[in-house]
């Protein structure tokens, strides 16, 4: 073992270990009277995309479970199957300590209004001190009513175009999930393919010497402009931040051209 590990079963995959931590302390998504099973399914999919797993449904309009949710969830069935059903919003939030209400409309209520980033930063702070946090999403057409908003500690709204503010239900959930992921560091699942390091200056200069030598051999440079043309060409390649592999690829292509046409001006 090269690093200190907590006791218990070993966790070979750091990503799995992170996922387990997230599931242990993440906000609960609460859909209030959602109408369409497809939207519930898409909300579950959006949750799964960003590592959220606890879903609560308050009195879905067309009953629950409901056909159509699973196919829309595209594989996030575990979230739908674990969803908890509540007859009222009060019951759905009874065990929570901090509740945020999403809304696209201004309410006549003296409540804090957060953008998604500030809201999820609050959420992360609350979770860190052991609080249970829930985020409310209203009906597809009408959103949350004012009494429902009044049960929340604060409001989340999104930085939308004021002329076109209405977000689809699953898309609101997605943005909350995305900001949650950003709170956790927002690591993207892969980076630049890194098989080849940046070209060392030696590789680059050797390539340029080769290229210039070949061009000299076919009389490419007019004598009075040779120096400036070479400087310009070197600059083209230096600016590209080429990798070792890039330089090998270019050198191979140029060698092939030279061997095919050496001594013959096209």
What whole-number distance in Å separates Cα of residue 95 and Cα of residue 91? 8
Mark the segment that binds a copy of itself (CB under 8 A) among 57-65, 155-163, 206-214, 229-237.
155-163
Mark the segment that binds a copy of itself (CB under 8 A) among 125-133, 142-150, 183-191, 227-235.
183-191
Contacts of 57 (CB under 8 A, 6+ apart): 30, 31, 34, 40, 64, 83, 84, 85, 86
Q: Does 170 bind a copy of itself (CB under 8 A)?
A: yes
Nearer to a copy of itself, 92 or 100 (CB): 100
- For residue 31, what are the β-bridge partners? 57, 137
Q: Which of 168, 216, 252, 262 binds a copy of itself (CB under 8 A)?
A: 168
Q: Does 117 bind a copy of itself (CB under 8 A)?
A: yes
Task: Scan residues 189-208 and list those touching a copy of itself (CB under 8 A).
Answer: 189-193, 195-196
Nearer to a copy of itself, 53 or 96 (CB): 53
Q: Which of 159, 197, 213, 252 binds a copy of itself (CB under 8 A)?
A: 159
φ/ψ (deg, to 5) at 146: -65, -35
Q: Which of 15, 20, 142, 217 binds a copy of itself (CB under 8 A)?
A: 15
- Angle in degrees, 0-180, between the axes of helices 37-49 and 169-183, rounded to the nearest 10: 10
Mark the segment that binds a copy of itself (CB under 8 A) among 56-64, 91-99, 168-176, 221-229.
168-176
Q: What are the start-end ranges of the H helices in the chain?
A: 14-24, 37-49, 69-73, 77-81, 89-92, 116-128, 146-150, 169-183, 201-217, 226-238, 244-261
Q: Does 237 bind a copy of itself (CB under 8 A)?
A: no
Q: Does 74 bind a copy of itself (CB under 8 A)?
A: yes
Nearer to a copy of itself, 240 or 262 (CB): 240
Question: Judging by beta carbons within 10 Å of its beta carbon (0-12, 13-18, 19+), is residue 177 exposed, middle or buried?
Answer: buried
What whole-number distance in Å separates Cα of residue 67 and Cα of residue 37? 7
Q: Which of 111, 139, 238, 255 binds a copy of itself (CB under 8 A)?
A: 111
Measured over the CA atoms of residue 168, residue 170, residue 173 and residue 179, the dihedral's sign is negative
Task: Scan residues 242-261 and list those touching a copy of itself (CB under 8 A).
Answer: 243, 245-246
Nearer to a copy of itself, 58 or 124 (CB): 124
Nearest to 119 by CA among 99, 137, 104: 99
Q: How far is CA 110 from CA 113, 146, 155, in A?
A: 9, 12, 10
Q: Does 178 bind a copy of itself (CB under 8 A)?
A: yes
Look-up: residue for tokens 């609101």? Answer: 172
* Contact residues: a copy of itself, CB under 8 A: 15-16, 19, 42, 45-46, 48-51, 74-76, 104, 106-113, 115, 117, 157-168, 170-171, 174-175, 178, 181-182, 185-193, 195-196, 243, 245-246
């Amino acid at each position: 073992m090269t690093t200190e590990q907590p006791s218990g079963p070993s966790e070979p995959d750091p990503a799995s270990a992170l996922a387990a931590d997230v599931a242990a302390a993440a906000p609960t998504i609460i859909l209030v009277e959602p109408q369409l099973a497809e939207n519930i399914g898409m909300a579950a999919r959006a949750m799964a995309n960003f590592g959220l797993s606890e879903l609560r449904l308050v009195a879905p309009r067309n009953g629950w479970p409901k056909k159509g949710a699973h196919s829309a969830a595209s594989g996030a069935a575990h979230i739908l199957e674990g969803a908890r059903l509540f007859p009222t919003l009060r019951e759905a939030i009874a065990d929570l300590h901090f509740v945020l209400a999403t809304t696209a409309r201004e309410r006549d209520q003296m409540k804090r209004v957060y953008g998604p980033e500030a809201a999820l930063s609050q959420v992360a702070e609350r979770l860190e001190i052991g609080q249970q946090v829930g985020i409310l999403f209203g009906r597809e057409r009408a959103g949350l009513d004012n009494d429902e908003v009044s049960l929340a500690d604060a409001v989340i709204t999104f930085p939308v175009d004021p002329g076109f503010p209405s977000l689809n239900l699953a898309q609101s959930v997605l943005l909350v999930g995305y900001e949650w992921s950003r709170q956790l560091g927002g690591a993207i699942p892969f980076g630049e393919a890194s098989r080849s390091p940046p070209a060392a200056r030696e590789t680059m200069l050797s390539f340029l010497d080769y290229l210039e030598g070949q061009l000299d051999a076919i009389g490419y440079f007019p004598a009075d402009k040779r120096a400036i043309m070479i400087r310009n060409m070197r600059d083209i390649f230096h600016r590209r931040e080429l990798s070792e592999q890039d330089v090998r690829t270019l050198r191979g292509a140029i060698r092939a051209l030279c061997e095919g046409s050496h001594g013959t001006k096209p």
